[in-house]
A and B are shown apart, each in its own frame.
Chain A
């Protein structure tokens, strides 16, 4: 009974995410077409698109990760259905408010809404309020969900068990902590921290907004808080996907389940800390930030990559190398997603080096690398889960006829779309430009390449969407 409710709400999450994904990609393609001079939006309209695209994408792939995490967590502990439902309701309300504030209220401060831009009188003040409240609604819903999942884990595991510390000294401890539980906990704490940073940020923004400027904020503090929240949540949502992979990859491949070992424990425990320091790399070009913090930013960014590369990626390679595996859509997507994830990571590391950042910061290199580990990493992790989820309950074996076509379209579209960003970034084309000045006209051709490739990617996504949604709907309307 319980499981049926969880199954249904997960199916609703999946349909909602895919629906919004198609919409947000369309916004992305519109942006690229505008940059290519094929479409001619007024700049404010472009930036409304951009703000909505960014926040919607971050939002949906975050909740996709959470929904998957919640669904699988039920295998180990009892999770709260109401928290899941509240998160769903709040997410829907928040997204609607967000879209209205942007498309009706013309709010367009970008997904990072960097202080003091959102509070400037560039749009109606009701739009500012609606936007801030939309973030607040999303934040509250997600906080409730995060805390409830943490509580679910902590009901069964003690603090030291949930971090798998008993695996450090003992090869076969009495209570085993599955890798899924460990990684879930680590990611949930990261998510919680970033959401709390958003709370502080919002309080400070509201304080200035409602005192009409008699209280003012420090721009440097606000920038730090903004990226503390923004960078961290974008980073942690990938780890939510990884938790699912640790659980499902072996299972789908018909291999023995992965076990927690001492190095898995160390790697993930360290990741908790490194990730929280990495956001500092967003302030490299703010020379006002103390040099020590700039260097911490570079080191934390480097260090955060080590555990993931040496443990997670290596584990996947070990699991696949010369091993007979039942390949199906989900584990293929996991494998390709991992590859995309680390390639994006390399792009990120290059940019997280201060001396490179000096000439790459806020060029298209930035969307290049984060779209790599999102569109070709995290999205594939979640799609893999969606495929697995939508097929595992059907009685008859599902044959995926167009598997190769779908994957080929995804990869071809994805590579073209990303290459257009990377090359443009290396060509000094700035990010977040609705139109390119004549000196940077090269950006237009890259934008066209990006738009066309993204359409190919979109075709693949629509194929997934139709397939998965059909099965999820069936699940919703049968018992």
Chain B
């Protein structure tokens, strides 16, 4: 996913740069009597129309894939409770008491089934970012104090998954981590 986005971005950047270089070159080689572009208003209209169509297509393809909508109709096979704090994650099969938090020593979730993470924070804003065994970020949600965010995922590959914090939370932000196993 990320890599195709990078390629997509790189192609667009090259195209944009090429257009600018081309336009600049055309100015360098222009003589006094060159009149510049003709029918600019019409061209502008077309340009805008194309942009609108492309963006509308982009929106209609991507919006249904938003995390709030995928798996919304499924019944998760498992709930994992997550409480983030400075600078740790607690994960448990049972609800975590904010006043007396405790976690399970290891977490296992089933492969190819929808699971739900209920993520909250005990102090500041954190984030629950799930990395697969190739260290690719595959899902995330924020951990906000006072709220529980419900993240539904389906893991298609068994293995060890890491969790990192993706919201700056203080001087130990970079050491916040946890992990779980998909079986």
Q: Do chains A and B touch in the complex (CB under 8 A)?
A: yes
In contact, B27 and A363 (Cβ under 8 angstroms) = no
A314 at the interface (CB under 8 A from B): yes
Complex: chain A residue closest to B133, CB-CB:
A439
Residues from 141 to 169 in A contacting B, C-beta threshold 8 Å: none
**Interface bracket on A:** 35 or more
In contact, B173 and A432 (Cβ under 8 angstroms) = yes
In contact, B151 and A43 (Cβ under 8 angstroms) = no
How many of B's residues come within 8 Å of A, CB to CB? 78
A-binding segment of B76-84, B95-103, B105-113, B140-148 = B140-148
B-binding segment of A86-94, A389-397, A421-429 = A421-429
The 8 closest A-B pairs by CB, nearest first: A426-B6, A428-B137, A355-B65, A310-B48, A362-B166, A44-B171, A354-B66, A433-B174
Q: Provide the residues of chain A in CB contact with B9, threshold 8 Å.
A: 346-347, 350, 422
Q: Provide the residues of chain B in CB contact with A346, threshold 8 Å.
A: 9, 12-13, 16
Given A306-B55, A358-B66, 4 extra CB contacts under 8 A: A305-B55, A320-B23, A322-B26, A335-B24
How far apart are the CA atoms of A295 and B31 in the complex, in Å? 49
Within the complex, what minimum Cβ distance (angstroms) separates A355 from chain B?
4
Within the complex, what minimum Cβ distance (angstroms) separates B121 from chain A?
8
How far apart are the CA atoms of A356 and B168 in the complex, in Å? 20
Contact with A along B128-172 (1 / 0, CB 8 A): 010100011111111011110111000000000010111111111
Q: Provide the residues of chain A in CB contact with B36, threshold 8 Å.
A: 318-319, 321-323
Task: Offer 18 A-B interface pairs, CB within 8 angstroms, sorted by A.
Answer: A285-B141, A286-B141, A287-B150, A310-B44, A310-B51, A317-B23, A322-B37, A324-B31, A338-B20, A343-B12, A343-B13, A353-B62, A355-B62, A358-B139, A359-B140, A362-B127, A362-B167, A430-B129
Main SS of chain B's interface residues? mixed
Q: Provide the residues of chain B in CB contact with A423, threshold 8 Å.
A: 6
Within the complex, what minimum Cβ distance (angstroms) separates B124 from chain A?
4
In contact, A317 and B34 (Cβ under 8 angstroms) = no
Complex: chain A residue closest to B67, CB-CB:
A358
Q: Provide the residues of chain A in CB contact with B41, threshold 8 Å.
A: 263
B3 at the interface (CB under 8 A from A): yes
Q: Provide the residues of chain A in CB contact with B172, threshold 8 Å.
A: 43
In contact, A358 and B144 (Cβ under 8 angstroms) = no
In contact, B5 and A321 (Cβ under 8 angstroms) = no
A291 at the interface (CB under 8 A from B): yes
In contact, B151 and A122 (Cβ under 8 angstroms) = no
Q: Provide the residues of chain A in CB contact with B141, threshold 8 Å.
A: 285-287
Provided the pairs A302-B55, A360-B2 are in contact, do residues A322 and B34 lie with their beta carbons within 8 angstroms? yes
Q: Which of B2, B32, B41, B141 has the most CB of A within 10 A?
A: B2
Q: Provide the residues of chain A in CB contact with B62, threshold 8 Å.
A: 298, 353-356
Complex: chain B residue closest to A309, CB-CB:
B51
Q: Provide the residues of chain B in CB contact with A439, threshold 8 Å.
A: 131, 135, 162
Q: Provide the residues of chain B in CB contact with A356, threshold 8 Å.
A: 1, 5, 62
In contact, B67 and A354 (Cβ under 8 angstroms) = yes
In contact, A320 and B16 (Cβ under 8 angstroms) = no
In contact, A287 and B63 (Cβ under 8 angstroms) = no
How far apart are the CA atoms of A317 and B24 in the complex, in Å? 9
In contact, A339 and B20 (Cβ under 8 angstroms) = yes
In contact, B67 and A322 (Cβ under 8 angstroms) = no
In contact, B171 and A117 (Cβ under 8 angstroms) = no
Q: Provide the residues of chain B in CB contact with A335, threshold 8 Å.
A: 20, 24
In contact, A114 and B170 (Cβ under 8 angstroms) = no
Within the complex, what minimum Cβ distance (angstroms) separates A37 from chain B?
13
In contact, B5 and A426 (Cβ under 8 angstroms) = yes
B-binding segment of A65-73, A95-103, A216-224, A230-238 = A216-224
Q: Provide the residues of chain A in CB contact with B167, threshold 8 Å.
A: 114, 362
How far apart are the CA atoms of A418 and B22 in the complex, in Å? 23
Q: Provide the residues of chain B in CB contact with A319, threshold 8 Å.
A: 36
- Chain A residues close to B by CB (< 8 Å): 43-44, 47, 108-110, 114-117, 120, 122, 218-220, 223, 263, 285-288, 291, 294-295, 298-299, 302, 305-306, 309-311, 314, 317-325, 327, 335-336, 338-339, 342-343, 346-347, 350, 353-356, 358-363, 422-423, 425-428, 430-437, 439-440
How far apart are the CA atoms of A335 and B24 in the complex, in Å? 9
In contact, A223 and B44 (Cβ under 8 angstroms) = no
Provided the pairs A295-B63, A320-B23, A437-B164 are in contact, do residues A428 and B136 lie with their beta carbons within 8 angstroms? yes
Complex: chain A residue closest to B7, CB-CB:
A426
Provided the pairs A317-B19, A355-B62 are in contact, do residues A285 and B127 lie with their beta carbons within 8 angstroms? yes
Within the complex, what minimum Cβ distance (angstroms) separates B40 from chain A?
5
Complex: chain A residue closest to B58, CB-CB:
A353
Contact with A along B38-75 (1 / 0, CB 8 A): 00110110011001100100110011011110000000
In-complex Cβ contact of A355 among B20, B67, B171 (8 A): B67
In-complex Cβ contact of A440 among B37, B47, B51, B135 (8 A): B135
How far apart are the CA atoms of A361 and B174 in the complex, in Å? 16
In-complex Cβ contact of B140 among A115, A285, A338, A434 (8 A): A285
In contact, A428 and B147 (Cβ under 8 angstroms) = no
Q: Which of A306, A309, A322, A346 has the most CB of B within 10 A?
A: A322
In contact, B27 and A428 (Cβ under 8 angstroms) = no
In-complex Cβ contact of B147 among A43, A219, A305, A306 (8 A): A219
In contact, A436 and B67 (Cβ under 8 angstroms) = no
Within the complex, what minimum Cβ distance (angstroms) separates B85 from chain A?
11
Contact with A along B10-30 (1 / 0, CB 8 A): 001100110110011011101
Q: Provide the residues of chain B in CB contact with A432, threshold 8 Å.
A: 168, 173
In contact, B174 and A110 (Cβ under 8 angstroms) = no
Within the complex, what minimum Cβ distance (angstroms) separates B30 from chain A?
5
Within the complex, what minimum Cβ distance (angstroms) separates A462 from chain B?
26
Within the complex, what minimum Cβ distance (angstroms) separates B1 from chain A?
6
B125 at the interface (CB under 8 A from A): yes
